[in-house]
Structure 1
Amino acid sequence: MDQSLLVFMTVAEKMNFTRAAEALHMTQPAVSQHIQSLESAMGTKLLERSNKYVRLNEAGEIVYRHGKEIAGLYASMQSLVNDLMNEASGTLAIGASYTFGEYALPHTIAYLQHHYPEIKPTITIGNTKEIAELVAGRQLDIGIIEGELQHGRLHVEPFAKDRMYIVASSAHPVLGGLEDVSIDFLRDQTWIVREEGSGTREATERMFSDIGLQSPATMEFGSTQIIKESVEAGLGITLLSHWAVRKEIKLGTLNRLTLKGQPVEREFSLVRIEDQLQTKALQVFLEILRAHRGLPELD
């Protein structure tokens, strides 16, 4: 990979020439020389500089974004060449949306590490939209998302079902021992929902549409954990995956509810670049997900 581009990306991420030089084990004048060389090749300045900060300008944003893609392709090229002679090994950049990434993926990674210790996974957690964009930008080898996705550059492969339940505090004053609730009950509640771009938010809005629940009172949070804590505190009810609430259900702090006796179902899907060449490490990981559906045994 071009050294000047690598130096530029490090400066952009560190937002400081001195810190970038330390990370690259170079002198600061050498870093400056590489930046000048790249700017000369591009025919324009790429960074805004002052005594207090270093920032990307509009041209720099373009070069940085494409540089990340180039870095991903270069790492993939190295892994594929290594694969010709070796067992499954090397780095594997995995992205997952919150529910799968925080509650199911750790079991899969534990299995992977036990059977293939030479594979070194790195994990990125974000909402469905964020993970899809990172895969499309070749910053991740594979993404695992919740719900539906349409993206021109990505192949989407459903591989496992997820059961979602309406969840309320075990101390809810109206519920008593109810496990199945009515639409009238749901209409009167405050709903605690995830942010736009989340697969859980998408599933919640689809459920609202399916049952004719229009414009309910809502509170929005960007974390499943905060939502669970808020529901336990009695701020409202929510719709969450079985995987996200199974511990709280066992402890008796949350109640799992249904409408007409049925949970809401959605799919977990794999997302990857359409023309992506697969390393042995990625092939092994995909085989584990497809064989075990990426999930531990249901309780």
Structure 2
Amino acid sequence: MDQHLHVFVTVAEKQNFSRAAETLHMTQPAVSQYIRLFEETMGVRLLERTSKYVQLNKAGEMVYHHAKEIIGLYTRMQNLVDDLTNKASGPLSIGASYTFGEYVLPHIIAKLNEAYPNISPTVIIGNTTEIADAVKRHQLDVGIVEGHLKDEEHMQIEPFAEDDMVVVAAPNHPLMVRNDVISMKDLEKTTWVLREYGSGTREAADSVFQQNDIAPDKIMNIGSTQPIKEAVEAGLGISLLSQWAIQKELQHDDLTVVPVSGLPFRRQFSIITTSPFQTKALQIFIDLLRHNKDLSAFRSDHDDPSGTT
């Protein structure tokens, strides 16, 4: 890989020539020389310099974006070539949407580490849109996301698991004093605490609203699942959450499943990649996902998705 490209990316991320030099194990004058030659090659200034820091200008942002893709592709190519003669080992970058990444993926990674200790996984968790974008830009080897992807071009998408979504409330919520099954229409006037747009969990909630022809009067948006659970426990409203995400709260009676007709809502999880060529480490990880597709093993034994037990 072109060393000038690597030096440029490091300086851009460290925003400082001295820190970049330390990371690269080079002298600061050498780093400055690489940047000067790289800017001459590109024919344009890429970094704005001050006495304390450097930052990308408009041209620099464009070059940095593509440089990251080039480095990601080069690294993947190198790993594929190494795999021809070596056993499964080396880095594996995994992205996952919040529900899968926080509540299921740790168990998968534990199995991977036990069986293949020479594979070094790194994990990034974000919403579905963020993970899909990182995979498409070759910043991640593989992504696990829920819901539908807006831009499926140049991506391999493999559905591999299903997840049940249920309505949850605090045990003392007024809804829980009723003994009958509740319709979604009954919940239209209730405050909902939901994930942000772009997340698969929010997409599932919007699908449920659309299927039942309701438009909740009040929606509180929160950017991750844990504070949503805290808000629901505090009585701020109800939510639609994955069965995977609420097991501990159900066991400790911090949350309860509201018996709603037509639920649980079932959604699909998919594996996404960008290249038909896969390192041994990636092949092994994907096979592990496929072989653990019955993800009910990660649920509590006594909890039933319908909320009837």
Q: Taking structure 2 as the reference length, what is the TM-score of the superposition?
A: 0.93
Deviation of 1:291 (Å): 1.2
Cα distance change on mapping 1:180 and 1:48 into 2, 3 Å: farther
SS of the residue 2:157 aligns to: strand
The corresponding residue for 2:303 is: none
SS of the residue 1:174 aligns to: helix
Cα distance change on mapping 1:166 and 1:11 into 2, 3 Å: same
Cα distance change on mapping 1:125 and 1:162 into 2, 3 Å: same
Matched, 1:47 2:85: no
Deviation of 1:53 (Å): 2.9
Cα distance change on mapping 1:276 and 1:13 into 2, 3 Å: farther
Task: Give RMSD over aligned pairs.
Answer: 1.5
The corresponding residue for 1:239 is: 240
Cα distance change on mapping 1:179 and 1:241 into 2, 3 Å: farther
The corresponding residue for 1:270 is: 271
SS of the residue 1:156 aligns to: strand
Structure 1 letter corresponding to 2:83: D
The corresponding residue for 2:197 is: 196
Matched, 1:97 2:113: no
The corresponding residue for 1:224 is: 225
- Whether the 8 Å CA contact 1:179–1:256 is kept in 2: the answer is no
- Whether the 8 Å CA contact 2:127–2:200 is kept in 1: the answer is yes
Structure 2 letter corresponding to 1:163: D
- How many residues are aligned here? 298
Runs of 5+ unmatched residues, structure 2: 301-309
- Whether the 8 Å CA contact 1:182–1:259 is kept in 2: the answer is yes
Cα distance change on mapping 1:249 and 1:286 into 2, 3 Å: same
Structure 1 letter corresponding to 2:226: Q
The corresponding residue for 2:281 is: 281
Q: Taking structure 1 as the reference length, what is the TM-score of the superposition?
A: 0.96
Cα distance change on mapping 1:89 and 1:177 into 2, 3 Å: farther
Instruction: Give the distance between the partners of 1:261 and 1:255, measured in 2 at CA.
Output: 17
Instruction: Give the distance between the partners of 2:294 and 2:77, measured in 1 at CA.
Output: 27
SS of the residue 2:145 aligns to: strand
- Whether the 8 Å CA contact 1:108–1:294 is kept in 2: the answer is no
Cα distance change on mapping 1:140 and 1:238 into 2, 3 Å: same
Cα distance change on mapping 1:294 and 1:270 into 2, 3 Å: farther
Deviation of 1:176 (Å): 2.3
Instruction: Give the distance between the partners of 1:284 and 1:178, measured in 2 at CA.
Output: 48
Instruction: Give the distance between the partners of 2:159 and 2:294, measured in 1 at CA.
Output: 11
Deviation of 1:262 (Å): 2.6
Runs of 5+ unmatched residues, structure 1: none
Runs of 4+ residues deviating >6 angstroms:
none
Cα distance change on mapping 1:217 and 1:210 into 2, 3 Å: same
